[in-house]
């Protein structure tokens, strides 16, 4: 895997298995949670080091290495944190779905109007606002 490639199960598994709450999870723990061997996991994490993870490489075998942090870019790449574009698209879809389910004609019309605005003329404005929120809500992670 080359630096910049999409994170593979080793980093995603760390997040989804609860290992992200562990104090610096070991490569061996991530490998076990992902169902991968330690060597493959270590090579993957080395390739992601600096861009997607902060890998602490100690003396000795890779099984004792630890992941000190997972970057905001990694979380976005695996879908844990939305981009501004995906956030607004999801909002537009949610308003559209809500309109489809709404029995009251007045509310249905307002929901469709909001969905249309977010999916149409107001899309770029909403994306710009969401980008500022997403980037600044998480200090030091972007």
8: pLDDT strictly greater than 50 = no
Per-residue pLDDT band for 80 (boundaries 50, 70, 90) equals: confident
> Comparing 56-60, 106-110, 131-135, which segment has the lowest mean pLDDT?
131-135
Stretch 54-65: mean pLDDT: 89
pLDDT in tens, 109-137: 999 999 999 999 999 999 998 888 877 65
Would you state the pLDDT for residue 31?
93
Q: Which residue has the tokens 């942090």?
A: 69
Mean pLDDT in the chain? 82
Q: Count CB atoms within 10 A of the CB of residue 57.
A: 14
Alpha carbon 5 to chain centroid, angstroms? 14
Stretch 33-57: mean pLDDT: 93
**What 3-state class would DSSP assign to 54?**
strand
Per-residue pLDDT band for 9 (boundaries 50, 70, 90) equals: very low
> Comparing 11-15, 24-28, 83-87, 124-128, which segment has the lowest mean pLDDT?
11-15
Q: The whole model's pTM is what? A: 0.51
């Amino acid at each position: 895997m080359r630096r910049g490639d999409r994170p593979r199960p080793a980093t995603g598994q760390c997040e989804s298995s609860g290992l992200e709450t562990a104090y610096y999870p070991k490569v061996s723990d991530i490998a076990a949670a992902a169902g991968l061997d330690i060597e493959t996991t270590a090579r993957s994490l080395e390739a992601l080091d600096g861009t997607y993870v902060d890998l602490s490489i100690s003396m000795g075998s890779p099984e004792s290495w630890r992941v000190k942090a997972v970057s905001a870019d990694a979380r976005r790449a695996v879908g844990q944190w939305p981009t501004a574009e995906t956030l607004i698209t999801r909002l537009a879809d949610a308003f559209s779905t809500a309109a489809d389910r709404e029995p009251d004609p007045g509310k249905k019309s307002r929901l469709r109007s909001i969905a249309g605005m977010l999916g149409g003329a107001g899309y770029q404005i909403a994306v710009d606002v969401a980008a500022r929120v997403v980037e600044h809500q998480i200090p030091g992670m972007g």
